[in-house]
Amino acid sequence: MSSFESDDDRPAVPVETKAGVDRRKFLGHAAKAAGGLIAGNLLGTGNAQAQAGAQQFTEWGWPTPYEQISAKSRQWLESKGWWPISAAWIVVWSGQELINHTLQSQKLLEKRGIEVKWQTFVAAGFSNEAFIPGRIQLASTGGLGVLALISNKVPTSALAVHSPGITHAATVPLDSPLKSLADLKDARVLKRPAIVGTTTGSTNHFGFIAAANYLGLKENQDFTLRSSPPGDLATGPKGLDVYTIWEPHVSYSTEVLKSTRMLEALDPYYIYSGYYYTRRELEENAPDVAQAMTDAFVEAVLWNKANQEQAITSLMALPAYGRLSRDLIKKMSERNLFWPKPTVYYPFDDPNGLWPKEETRISEWAHSTGASKNKVSNEDWRNVRRTRYMAGTFEKLGWKVPDKPPFLPRDFGGVGNLPYKPYGASLLSGPAPFPEAGELTKPWTFMGKTHKA
């Protein structure tokens, strides 16, 4: 199923070329072929792309031929011992998991000349243990994982926002007397500090800190924290009063296992941000590699939108997903990847806009509670973000950079005006229309249909 609608009634079947083919020679051959097959798994061109010089696209909307990284950049990576690149992603994380799995399974970095060795983790803390000493050079974690990197002065460049606004929640045992997080105040319901399960260093930890700050809850007075992996928290282990987890663990716990019930979402208290990032020295010394990483990320988004059932089938074959419901993963993937506009991943760096300002607000709470050992400023967050690579990717595709994050409601009240109004997946009951008027700068072809600027 496609979430895109065409401006052109005439189908244009896209063309995928092999990397490294001379563009002018290829277009000359394509024109002579006049709709025939071109060697190497290529599809025929439609009327909209039959003209010599017209941009060619894969079926899922990526312009071809693929740009390759330079020999100089490869030599620099080899000199650092970073060849192949070591990359990692976190399993069971709605919105992020399929993008990174597709980067790996479809070899989208390799198509650009980057050799990669992949591994997976279950939470940001484990990923950071590998990223900080440089054992991995490309990673994806939530905002608290990146905060830890900034706090520890680890040189990092964020290329994309990952699964923005994904739901985090607090759940409780089925027989819990708690009705909301506010019930933890002054131990008025439990008559003692609540024991709150979280994953230290991950975004459920981040979200609970934000909620506690807004609600005036104090550690060791109203609650104590106990660290546990998210998969374990989803089972509703004994000895805990509250479990904090992210999707799909929330729905798996409350709807599939039925081991817990929803207490409340953490979304009104902070807006979640995850990141796809690389080592700063890589970005500074091999910027074409950083651009290729960003291009591959967005291509993975498009590939998933065009191949939804295939993507889920491939993901469900991984051991980490053996205990999970395919229906649940499909539902979460729709809400957090298939349905949102593909422009939601732009890493906005306006100091008075959403991301740096929201992250600074949460960072102050994290520092005051000891979750972050150093104070992290708005400028620190801005310095991590690299908008030029995503802007370069959008330019190739003919997409306009949005004026503001597309997953926010039109009447968003601004950073810090809590509780926040519903945003992200809460606003969607189906695919968000894309492209709408004004969202393209040039024609773009997806699934055989051309959208006009």
What structural domains and CATH numbers belong to the chain? 73-165+272-444 (3.40.190.10), 168-267 (3.40.190.10)
CA 165 to chain centre: 10
- Sheet harboring 116-121: ordered strands across? 116-121, 85-90, 138-142, 274-279, 156-162
Residue 53: which pLDDT band, with cuts at 50, 70 and 90?
Answer: low
Residue 365: which pLDDT band, with cuts at 50, 70 and 90?
Answer: confident
- Token couple for 401: 């950079």
**118: enclosing H helix or E strand:** strand 116-121
Distance CA 215, CA 227 (A): 21
Phi first, then psi: give them for residue 82, nearest 5 degrees. -105, 40
Distance CA 450, CA 439 (A): 14
More confident residue, 53 or 182: 182
Mean pLDDT of the chain: 88
Residue 393: which pLDDT band, with cuts at 50, 70 and 90?
Answer: very high
User: What single string gives the DSSP state of each residue in 40-104?
Assistant: TT-PPP-GGG-STTPPEE-TTS-EESPP---HHHHHHHHHTT-SSEEEEEESS-TTTHHHHHHHH
Task: Name which of 113-122, 204-213, 217-226, 365-374 the model is least confident about.
Answer: 365-374
Task: Name which of 20-24, 80-84, 86-90, 289-293 the model is least confident about.
Answer: 20-24
Residue 52 clears pLDDT 60, i.e. is over it: no
- Token couple for 15: 């063309």
pLDDT, position 50: 41
Phi first, then psi: give them for residue 302, nearest 5 degrees. -65, -40
Map residue 227 onto helix, strand or coil.
strand
Residue 2 clears pLDDT 90, i.e. is over it: no
pLDDT, position 450: 96
Q: Which segments within 165-316 are labelled E, that is strand?
A: 168-173, 194-198, 223-227, 242-246, 260-265, 274-279
- Token couple for 167: 């739901």
CA dihedral 37, 41, 44, 45 (to 10 degrees): -130
Residue 216 clears pLDDT 90, i.e. is over it: yes
Is the CB of residue 109 less than 8 Å from the CB of residue 103? yes
Instruction: Give CA separation, 181 vs 57, 136, 209, 260, 326, in Å.
Output: 50, 38, 12, 15, 31
pLDDT, position 21: 40
Is the CB of residue 263 less than 8 Å from the CB of residue 358? no
* pTM as predicted: 0.85
